[in-house]
Structure 1
Amino acid sequence: MRLNKYISETGLCSRRVADALIAEGRVTINGKPVELGQQVGEHDDVRVDGKPVIGRTRGAAHVTQRVYIALNKPVGITCTTERHIPGNIVDYINHPQRIFPIGRLDKDSEGLILLTSNGDIVNEILRSENNHEKEYIVTIDRPVTPQFLHGMSSGVRLPELGATTKKCRVEKISGNTFRIVLTQGLNRQIRRMCEAFGCKVRRLQRVRIDNIKLGALKSGYWRNLSEDELRELLPQRTVW
């Protein structure tokens, strides 16, 4: 098995992050430095920063039961695996397995975020060309006008990111509140889009990622995804 896949299956990090750790010289096999693309056997001693990488079932043909979680993230929790950062999402959930968030939801936002111990699926969900939908309910500091809705849905130029947002679906819910469905995830995208129209976001809540809905899940609580939800979320995969 390739080393980056081995590390990702323990839940420590994604394959991309594993490649970065390997390139930085922070990974060893049986006490020796490794290279990108190196193979690893089930009886090898793999370590990151000198600490054993655990999580695989030694001598067995399967991996420890993988974890897939939907969390209703409260405002103030940071989507990072860096344990030294106060309010990090990993310590907040305190799951017995190593898990990490799929994508981000900024500290000032709330709502649905997925977490997993399976690094293999992260890129599949985050890749913009896969057009995974993310739905948000947003409240701004002024009334939602037809001009605002048209401008937001048509694509917004964000000079600070050097990008123009993809066309998206936007609809008014009430006076200052609207619903928006995105298929990309630029840094603080919705807040930046609103700022382009002179508006400030007062509340931002994600309520759906593809077929996974926030529903009645209370703020601060999480649940495991069902097999049916995983099959619909990742229809091309036979193993999760």
Structure 2
Amino acid sequence: MRLDKFVCKSTPLSRTEAVQVIHHERVLVNGVAIVDEAAQVHENNHIILDGKHLVPRPFRYLLLHKPANCLSANISEPSKSTKYPSVFDVLNIDNSSELHLVGRLDADTTGLLLATDDGRWSFTITSPNSDCSKVYRVGLAKPLGPEVADKFLAGILLQGEHELTLPAKLEVISPNQVLLTLTQGKFHQVKRMFAAVGNKVVSLHREKIGAISLDVPQGQWRALTEAEVNAMG
């Protein structure tokens, strides 16, 4: 963890204030004044500010149910015609600047998001080597042909790509609705996969990430259980 982030997580100081105390040699790491706010520190280091031993607050692990028309971002951003709120604005989470999202969803996509301030945990989930599955409920413009499930399982060549997608499981729920399970996260992958087989996604909702299933109403959140955190780490 960066030293300035460690100080913020251990005190009420803002990032700017943390940088200031670091630059003024008020922070000691294992007895040595460190003036580089980007220096990497670890929980086993002995870190002192003005003679007080710093202990970071426990990491937070959250499950969010993202509504449509909000951004997977910490800060709201203007669009061409309106201003979409951040998912953190909608949910009004305290100290949201300390959190980051574990993967993202498009503004028009709903469903499960994970948020944390534990960078190692999120990296474990998002790493290409993790094989973490994600399940989406997909609404389609027209019914799928019977051959599409086999194509998805074999891999799809997306426009602009040189390699097939990893095998994906397709389960038909109704003529125009399917469940799609992926283990990778290319840019707009779900929409591009169905476009590659001549269809169009009209609704997209993420129901599950790894062992964690969405179980709160839209616009709400809850803390993950210890078992859920461990299952993903």
Q: TM range, normalised to the smaller chain?
A: 0.7 to 0.9
Q: How far is the alpha carbon of 1:168 from its aligned partner?
A: 1.6
- For the Cα contact (< 8 Å) 2:159–2:196, is it kept in 1? no
Compared with structure 1, are the counterparts of its residues 10 and 144 closer, same or farther at alpha carbon in structure 2 (3 Å cutoff)?
A: farther
Report the RMSD for the aligned CA atoms in angstroms.
2.9
Compared with structure 1, are the counterparts of its residues 10 and 91 closer, same or farther at alpha carbon in structure 2 (3 Å cutoff)?
A: farther
Compared with structure 1, are the counterparts of its residues 11 and 155 closer, same or farther at alpha carbon in structure 2 (3 Å cutoff)?
A: farther
User: What is the match of residue 168 of structure 1?
Assistant: 168
Distance 1:191 1:11 in 2: 39
User: What is the match of residue 121 of structure 1?
Assistant: 121
Distance 2:135 2:163 in 1: 21
Q: How far is the alpha carbon of 1:162 from its aligned partner?
A: 4.2
What amino acid is the match of 1:30? H
With normalisation by structure 1, the TM-score equals 0.74
User: What is the match of residue 96 of structure 1?
Assistant: 94
Compared with structure 1, are the counterparts of its residues 88 and 46 closer, same or farther at alpha carbon in structure 2 (3 Å cutoff)?
A: farther
SS of residue matched to 1:164? coil
Alignment of 1:139 onto 2:139: yes
Unaligned 5+ segments in structure 2 are: 10-18, 39-46, 79-83
Max Rg structure = 2
- For the Cα contact (< 8 Å) 1:75–1:108, is it kept in 2? yes
- For the Cα contact (< 8 Å) 1:8–1:118, is it kept in 2? no
Unaligned 5+ segments in structure 1 are: 13-26, 33-38, 49-55, 235-240
User: What is the match of residue 232 of structure 2?
Assistant: 233
Distance 2:88 2:7 in 1: 15
- For the Cα contact (< 8 Å) 1:11–1:119, is it kept in 2? no
- For the Cα contact (< 8 Å) 2:2–2:37, is it kept in 1? no
Compared with structure 1, are the counterparts of its residues 126 and 8 closer, same or farther at alpha carbon in structure 2 (3 Å cutoff)?
A: farther
SS of residue matched to 2:149? helix
Distance 1:105 1:203 in 2: 12
Cα deviations by residue, 1:52-73 (Å, 9 ceiling, x for unpaired): xxxx995345311221110110
Distance 1:133 1:146 in 2: 23
Compared with structure 1, are the counterparts of its residues 102 and 82 closer, same or farther at alpha carbon in structure 2 (3 Å cutoff)?
A: same
- For the Cα contact (< 8 Å) 1:194–1:201, is it kept in 2? yes
User: What is the match of residue 222 of structure 1?
Assistant: 221
User: What is the match of residue 106 of structure 2?
Assistant: 106
SS of residue matched to 1:223? strand
Distance 1:213 1:11 in 2: 31
Distance 1:130 1:11 in 2: 30
How many residues are paired up? 203
What amino acid is the match of 1:203? S
Compared with structure 1, are the counterparts of its residues 219 and 93 closer, same or farther at alpha carbon in structure 2 (3 Å cutoff)?
A: same
Cα deviations by residue, 1:175-199 (Å, 9 ceiling, x for unpaired): 1111111111111100000011111
